[in-house]
A and B are shown apart, each in its own frame.
Chain A
């Protein structure tokens, strides 16, 4: 394990495969949910629909990328529209037998949510846990990832503006 430590120190991963062998044989529900989320790794593109409808963004084309990082310990989600380069980032990890996401929001806060996979394995749904940062503009409250097939998934995100929810639905097709 010495080499693993050295690589962690140096952020340089030479032999990721060498570490796969020490994974535990029995996976927790959180790990299974995380593994399901990792199947989304890749680049995606699709149209947004909103409720209540937001005229300035309804039907907008959005690019989403999901990348497995940190030697498989993190899934990184980025989304951006076509007219601006910066983007919010969501990080998924397994922590204390929970699948957690932290959403680094454009609204200058960082809600955390806890995820669970449905019994049929077709959705992973995240419920709000807590939030840090600026709450002046509200915060992201809920998220659902639905797995349709290897090249098609949907994301449903709910933003809470005080007591008023706003829902965004992303219908995404894999680009690679």
Chain B
């Protein structure tokens, strides 16, 4: 196990196959519901693009600009990183910075932390998926400022390998929910 620790220390992963062999991989039957949901989420790894629908409509939001979403498996499979920004904008953090959501298993809970543009970090926990295609996250707690509201709820629906939906609910001050629906097609 020593090499695994060394790589964790150094963030340098040299010999993936060496580690795969010394970690017991549970079969599908042995996996917890949370692990299964996490695996479902990992199938979304890739780049996605699609339109956004908002309820109630937000006049400031131009509806003709699609959204770009990327999902990446990181940390030796222990985290999934979700990022989004307006499609067609270059990845220039000085001009086009964007929220990042980290998804991971915490014990037996599939958890996400949303690093929000609003300056806070809501944490949400996934429910058990009834059909294996929908993963729904409920609000657990919030750190950071709540002056401008916070993200409150999220649902990921896998339609097929190249199509998925995301439904995010943002709770504005005064507990007014705003719902954003993303209809995303895989671009790679």
Binding site for B on A (CB under 8 A): 1-14, 16, 41, 48, 50, 54, 56-57, 60, 62, 67-74, 76, 78-81, 83-84, 86-89, 91, 93, 95-96, 102, 104-108, 110, 132-133, 137-138, 140, 157, 159, 161, 166, 168
| Chain B residue, CB-CB nearest to A83 | B14
* Cβ-defined contact, B74 with A84, below 8 A: no
Binds A, one of B4-12, B27-35, B130-138, B156-164: B4-12
* Cβ-defined contact, A56 with B15, below 8 A: yes
The CA of A16 and the CA of B10, in the complex, are separated in Å by: 35
Q: How many residues of B contact A (CB 8 A)?
A: 65
* Cβ-defined contact, B5 with A107, below 8 A: yes
Binding site for A on B (CB under 8 A): 1, 3-16, 52, 54, 58, 60-62, 65, 67, 73-79, 81, 83-86, 93-100, 102, 104-107, 113, 115-119, 121, 143-144, 148-149, 168, 170, 172-173, 178, 180
Q: Contacting A68 at CB < 8 Å: which of B13, B76, B93, B144?
A: B93
* Cβ-defined contact, B67 with A12, below 8 A: yes
* Cβ-defined contact, A108 with B118, below 8 A: no
Q: Contacting A5 at CB < 8 Å: which of B5, B93, B172, B180?
A: B172
* Cβ-defined contact, A12 with B104, below 8 A: no
* Cβ-defined contact, A73 with B1, below 8 A: no
Min CB–CB distance B184 → chain A (angstroms)? 12
Min CB–CB distance A51 → chain B (angstroms)? 11
Q: Contacts A16-B95, A91-B102, A106-B75 given: A7-B117 contact, CB under 8 Å?
A: yes
